[in-house]
Chain A
């Protein structure tokens, strides 16, 4: 059943990483990404990897979960790796067969890129695994708030995110119900050619859209009744709070970044 899909890759917990201020967590993740991108050698990457590894241990997120988050990326990883392997040339030639040439630089670059992508995914999944979508949205709103000055609809964007998160489970349940109802009327979603299958989706999609619009209308009315008038003068129940641990964590991250810069210069 569709209901079984887990949504929002958040895994509640009470580790140090979970308790960090989401704003700092986003900043730390950005610095971490910067680490991966500036390191000019594989050694630099390993320093970044060490950082992610430490964070992973502190977060108490099972390693299995991280591996799972990498699974959908395997095709992309394979594709880019093959691409790099065959088309980058330089240094010693290892294999040469017909038009295929594998060189030293090719192998190095392939390893380097693959590791970089893997570390990148590990770091960013760690962010979503340890931060609830709603606080993440709040933090993004806060960090982007300077953009409000140039009339960017930052609050509206965050509100939209919140409502989407709120209604995803509802709409999934609804899809399930509509599917059962149409099946009961003899609709067949499981057989036929591609075109037939796409056509078979119409009896699900139309009721789903109609219902989504109806819900949107209802919700807008309920929001008006509760004095919603955009982001102006709004306060929040749960204030984002930062403390020593957030500054410490950021300081440690910056130290890692510096060590990579130093590595870049000396290696």
Chain B
């Protein structure tokens, strides 16, 4: 039984007006506990609508969402519970920061959960450290921090709620390569340490390829495919036809295969590609590059 399960989930915008549009259409999906899932798709493919259903921000037009086996719209209490079981970090989360100090901003979520002061204090300090925000920054105004630091504080604000499922919508948008790396690493670290289920929405297939074990591809309000990273990358051609960019390295491998080089076709990271090439060469030349 998956931790997230959707049954015929459909959401229609502006029902009864000329602008009526199905944002997601009959989604049946099951995401297993402890996965790190990358979600890709065009703007308007329905991926943002989908994730906003997981914590009850949007109510389905029809169909059901089950979190840990329970329908989140069964009662008011179960909807509220879903808010805490599923942590959602929006795009550009630093724009939601409002408190006077970093400490209080991270504490906002835990406070709303009604935790004790001690528990809040423990969680705030713990998550701050996890995202690389040092002790002395905690009493500073969050508005004085750098862009990357603000982003990490905002993510910490959700992590401190210790959700079993953590969803991040484009957590690296607008950051430089170093900032991107930092954010993705801390998410990976959090995933490893807590064993929670993580969903990352991203436009960067390169990033997804390096970090996710599974990939969900959304296209035209439907699930195009959901599976292990390697399996999804086997369909790289179809994915590029959709207009999504597959990593450069995958395109190179595909071209080499077209030209008759016999190598595996689920290569999507530079590191992996390097190993494959070296293996290929050493087999060809008898162990020269081991």
Interface residues of A (CB under 8 A from B): 4, 174, 177-178, 180-188, 202-203, 206-207, 210-211
Contacts and interface: CB of A to CB of B under 8 A. Distances in A.
Name the residue in B52, B96, B112, B157 with the highest tally of chain A Cβ atoms < 10 Å from its Cβ: B96
B156 to A, nearest CB: 11
Contacts of B52: 180
A136 B177 CA distance: 47
Interface in B51-87: 52, 55, 57, 83-84, 87
B247 interface: no
Contact of A184 (B14, B83, B113, B143): B83
B112 A184 contact: no
Interface of B: 14, 52, 55, 57, 83-84, 87-90, 93, 95-98, 108-109, 112-113, 143, 157-158, 161
Given A183-B57, A184-B87, A207 B112 contact: no
Contact of B55 (A4, A174, A184, A203): A184
Contact of A180 (B57, B108, B161): B57
Nearest to B83: A186
Given A181-B90, A185-B109, A187-B112, A211 B57 contact: no
Contact of B90 (A177, A188, A203, A211): A177
B93 A203 contact: no
Contact of B158 (A177, A184, A188, A203): A184
9 contacts: A174-B95, A183-B57, A184-B158, A185-B109, A202-B98, A206-B98, A207-B95, A207-B97, A211-B95
Name the residue in A181, A184, A187 with the highest tally of chain B Cβ atoms < 10 Å from its Cβ: A184
A207 B57 contact: no
Given A178-B95, A184-B89, 7 more contacts: A181-B93, A182-B96, A185-B161, A186-B108, A187-B112, A203-B108, A206-B98
Contacts, number: 55
A11 to B, nearest CB: 15
A186 B96 contact: no
Contacts of B88: 181, 184
Given A203-B108, A210-B143, A184 B95 contact: no
B112 to A, nearest CB: 3
Contacts of A202: 98
B41 to A, nearest CB: 19
A207 B98 contact: yes
B98 A184 contact: no
Given A177-B90, A178-B95, A207-B97, A184 B57 contact: yes
B94 to A, nearest CB: 9
B57 A186 contact: no
B96 A183 contact: no
Task: In the A-B complex, list the 7 residue pairs whose CB atoms are closest, starting with the nearest.
Answer: A186-B112, A206-B98, A185-B109, A181-B96, A184-B88, A181-B90, A203-B98
Contacts of B96: 178, 181-182, 185, 203, 207
Nearest to A214: B95
Given A203-B108, A210-B143, A184 B97 contact: no
A57 B52 CA distance: 46
Nearest to B87: A184
B95 A186 contact: no
Nearest to A187: B112
B90 A184 contact: yes
Contacts of A184: 55, 57, 83, 87-90, 158
Contact of A183 (B83, B97, B113): B83
A210 B150 CA distance: 14
Nearest to B96: A181
Nearest to A182: B96
A252 B95 CA distance: 55
A186 B84 contact: yes
Contacts of B98: 202-203, 206-207, 210
Nearest to B52: A180
Given A177-B90, A180-B57, A180-B90, A185 B157 contact: yes
A186 B97 contact: no
B99 to A, nearest CB: 8
B230 to A, nearest CB: 32
A186 B87 CA distance: 9
